[in-house]
Amino acid sequence: MIRRILVYIVDNFRWIGWLMILGAVLIVLPYMVRTYQVEVLILLLIDIILVVSFRLITTTGGWSLAHVPMMGCGAYATALLTAGLGVPFWISLPLSGLAAAVMAFILSYPLARTTGFAFFVASFAAGDSLRLCWTRFKTPFGGHKGLTNIPVPEFFSSVDLSAPIPYYYLALVITALCLLIMFRLDRSRIGHTFKAISMNADLSRSLGINVTFYKMLAFTIGSFFAGVAGVLLAHRLWAVVPAQFGFVTTLYLLVWVVFGGTRTFHGPILGVVVLTFLSELLKPLFEWVPMIFGTIIILTLIFFPEGLEGLGHRFTPWLDRQRFAAGDEPRH
């Protein structure tokens, strides 16, 4: 009986149903947790934009180590625009994303011509030189101390976006919008072309696909969204410091993505969400955290080499068995 109900639920809740439940959970979530945990959720939303935009670039085959500095570009751009020039947040948001995209476009000119390990190294160098610019030039970037006094986003005067919960909703809406756009892109012909390039670049070329152009396109679009993530971060921390966009953050990004997997759209999201919750849970263990964390990641990768998204495939045969036991025909 329970089996039958379980199978029924899984089969009949189409994605819209799931999405509605997810939306409802996300809307009430900030009221269910502690104030400081709302802060964790805000950072999580920002990280979700970051990993999904990172995956967008990986769909063409390259793992960019410049992604976190690209987020920094967005953060610095909005700091200069809003705090320096008094541009409103809502204009600065797309403009700063665009600034990251323009920077990415310029860098992608040489980067898109490299593949594999060379791309890895070249993107790292590109990102690092960006960071060097921020620390070296006190005007306008503020050197090592970065930029402070970044204003709170303005909204109807009744809503105070310096408070955590309203900012959470702001981040939620922007994240949802970003994911929607990136999901559309992933499922469009453009997304298919990206994947074709990563599967067989030479064949794609011979079929008339301008591989370099599409790689530049992926890098630029991905960086745009990284920039948007940077904007959200800057307006939450009210400050940008170059150390924020250092290699440690990049390492976190790579761990999330490897842990979640890059094959599917939801893989990296799963990775960052699970690991963030895990690290919140483990926080009271302090010095032990890196060790436990490392063990969990290694074990996961041993048993699910494709990352967490591989779990789904393992789950399907099990579900089929349950269906069979419940007397239904397995679906395909």
Partner 1 sequence: MTRKVWMGLALLAVFSLFSLGLQEAWAAEETVKIGYCAPLSGPAAAWGLPGLEGTSIWVDKVNAAGGLKVGDKTYKIEIVKYDDEGDGAKALVGVKKLVLEDKVVAILMLGGATTPPTQPFLSKEKIMCFVLIASDIAPDRPYLMDVTDNFPAYHLLHTEYIADAHPKAKKAAIISQDDEIGLAAIAWSEAGFKAAGIDVVYSKAFGVSTTDFAPIITAVLEKKPDIISMGASYPEFQALICEQAYTQGWRGIITSACWDFGAILAKVPKEFMEGAVSGFPDFDDPKLTKDHHDFWAEWKKRYPDHSFSEIVWEYMGALDVWAYGAQKAGSVKSEDVFKALKAADTVPHSFGPGKWFGKETFGNDNLLVPTWPITEIHGGKPAIVAYKNLFDWLKDAKKKQILFDTLKAWNIKTYQ
Partner 2 sequence: MALLQLKNLGKDFGRLVAVNRIDLTVEPGEIRGLIGPNGSGKTTIFNLITGFIPPSRGSVFFQGEDITDLPPHAVARRGLARTFQLTTLFKEMTALENVVMACHLHLRVGLWRQFWRTARTRRREKAVEFRAMELLEFMGMAERANELAGELPHGHQCALGISNALATNPKMILLDEPVGGMNPTETAQTMDRIRRLRDLGITVLLVEHDMKAVMSTCDRITCINFGNKIAEGTARDVCSSQDVIEAYLGGTSGVCSL
Q: What are the residues whose beta carbons fall under 8 Å from the beta carbon of 104, sequence distance 6 or more?
A: 66, 70, 73, 219, 220, 222, 223, 224
The neighbouring-strand residues paired with 239 are: 148
The torsion defined by the Cα of 197, 203, 207 and 209, in degrees rounded to 10, comes to: 30
Best CA proximity match to 191, nearest among 59, 30, 287, 20: 59
Q: Which region holds residue 208: left if phi is over 0, alpha if psi is between -120 and 50, else beta? A: left
Instruction: Based on the shown chain and the rule CB under 8 A, indicate whether residue 241 belongs to the binding site for partner 1.
Output: yes
Instruction: Based on the shown chain and the rule CB under 8 A, indicate whether residue 305 belongs to the binding site for partner 2.
Output: no
How far apart (Å, rounded) are the C-alpha atoms in residues 134 and 70? 12
Q: Compare residues 164 and 222 and give the one whose CB is closer to partner 1.
A: 164
The neighbouring-strand residues paired with 147 are: 240
- Segment lying near partner 2 (by CB under 8 A), choices 39-47, 158-166, 204-212, 304-312: 204-212
Best CA proximity match to 187, nearest among 265, 267, 269, 262: 265
Instruction: Based on the shown chain and the rule CB under 8 A, indicate whether residue 123 belongs to the binding site for partner 1.
Output: no
Q: Compare residues 35 and 200 and give the one whose CB is closer to partner 2.
A: 200
Which of 196-202's residues contact partners 24+ apart within 8 Å by CB, and which partners? 197/60, 197/61, 198/58, 198/59, 198/60, 198/61, 201/61, 201/115
The per-residue DSSP string of 256-283 comes to HHHHH-SSSSHHHHHHHHHHHHHHHHHG
Question: Which token pair is 61?
Answer: 């085959």
How far apart (Å, rounded) are the C-alpha atoms in residues 35 and 29? 11
| Distance in Å, CB of 123 to partner 1, minimum | 17
Q: Name the binder of 329 from partner 1, partner 2, none, CB < 5-8 A by kind.
A: none
Q: Compare residues 35 and 316 and give the one whose CB is closer to partner 1.
A: 35
Q: Compare residues 162 and 188 and give the one whose CB is closer to partner 1.
A: 162
**Residue of 50, 104, 174, 196 that binds partner 2 (CB under 8 A):** 196
Instruction: Based on the shown chain and the rule CB under 8 A, indicate whether residue 292 belongs to the binding site for partner 1.
Output: no
Q: Which 249-268 positions form the footprint of partner 1 (CB under 8 A)?
A: 249
Q: Name the binder of 199 from partner 2, partner 1, none, CB < 5-8 A by kind.
A: partner 2
**Residue of 79, 217, 233, 270 that binds partner 2 (CB under 8 A):** 217
Instruction: Based on the shown chain and the rule CB under 8 A, indicate whether residue 177 belongs to the binding site for partner 2.
Output: no
Instruction: Based on the shown chain and the rule CB under 8 A, indicate whether residue 203 belongs to the binding site for partner 2.
Output: yes
Q: Name the binder of 210 from partner 2, partner 1, none, CB < 5-8 A by kind.
A: partner 2
**Residue of 148, 149, 210, 295 that binds partner 2 (CB under 8 A):** 210
Q: Which 269-288 positions form the footprint of partner 1 (CB under 8 A)?
A: 283, 286-287
Question: Which token pair is 53?
Answer: 């935009």
Q: Which residues sit at the interface with partner 1, rule CB under 8 A?
A: 34-37, 39-40, 43, 135, 138, 143-146, 148-149, 164, 233, 236-241, 243-244, 248-249, 283, 286-287, 289-290
